[in-house]
A = this chain, B = another copy of it.
Amino acid sequence: MQRSDIPVYVQVRNQLWQWVQKQQLGSQERLPAERELAARFNTTRVTVRQALGQLEAEGVIFRSNRRGWYITPQRLIYDPSVDIGFYKTVIEQGLTPRTETLSKRLIETPNWLADISGMEKGAPIYHIVRRRSVDLRCVVVEHNYINPLGCPGLLDQDMDLSIWKLLREQYDLLPGQRNIEIFPQALTGVEAEALGVNSGSAGLYMQRLTLDKSGTFLEYDREYWIHDALKVAVQVNNN
């Protein structure tokens, strides 16, 4: 078989991936070290890195903080037309969610947020930053901006589970209308740092504007996901 038109690193990628599948490595299990792979596939470390980079781009392996390469877990399935929230989404898929609150404070509504939310510029608003994990893998940094009017003392509460559960059960606040936007965007700055990836790494951005049933602004949310952790899935019935 003529193989000379396939770049060497693609050939190594194919051999490597076949081998990994034969080993039946499971979710988040570690691949052998690069020099070991280079020896096994009789090639250079440069080529092994290219092959690994290719598999990373495809989202089937990921690198963790210079500690090595690992098998990417199944993507979390998220249906924006239902939008049941991170905590419930993860639990329902048999996975383990974890949330760390990085900061929570009362700030003055900045101009850009006033434009989006209809809050007055400078009016007090809660700003909560959290990092969330699935099976101990950090997958998203989330910024929540919440209208404090209906939920005094919110910042004294534990934010490490679901904010919407808190709003519903402690404050009787329910979402009316939600506008959700999702698109690919590179991770940079504090979000990249908090997620342990290089600035400029591929990511998925999501924002969510929530009004209550009377049309009053309740919450605005910005989420910065690593590129390989989430899949949007929607079912449409025209019946």
Contacts and interface: CB of A to CB of B under 8 A. Distances in A.
A39 B53 CA distance: 35
Given A75-B183, A238-B175, A54 B200 contact: yes
Contacts of A202: 184, 186, 202, 227
B83 A184 contact: no
Nearest to A75: B183
A191 interface: no
Given A57-B188, A81-B81, A186-B58, A181 B235 contact: no
A16 to B, nearest CB: 15
A128 to B, nearest CB: 22
Copy number in the complex reads 2
| Residue with the greatest number of chain B CB neighbours at <10 A, chosen from A59, A185, A213 | A185
Contacts of A97: none
Interface string A59-90: 10000000000000001000011110000000
Contacts of A236: 80-83, 175, 177-178, 180
Contact of A239 (B59, B213, B237): B213
Contact of A186 (B57, B185, B230): B57
Interface in A144-165: none
Interface string A215-239: 0000000000001101111111111
Nearest to A237: B177
Given A202-B202, A239-B177, A231 B182 contact: yes
A233 B181 contact: yes
A235 B53 contact: no
Contact of A57 (B177, B180, B200, B213): B200
Interface string A161-176: 0000000000000111
Contacts of A232: 80, 180-183, 232
Contact of A238 (B53, B176, B181, B204): B176
B213 A184 contact: no
A15 interface: no
Question: Considering the complex of A and B, which 4 residue pairs feature the smallest CB-CB distances, nearest first?
Answer: A57-B186, A80-B234, A182-B232, A183-B231
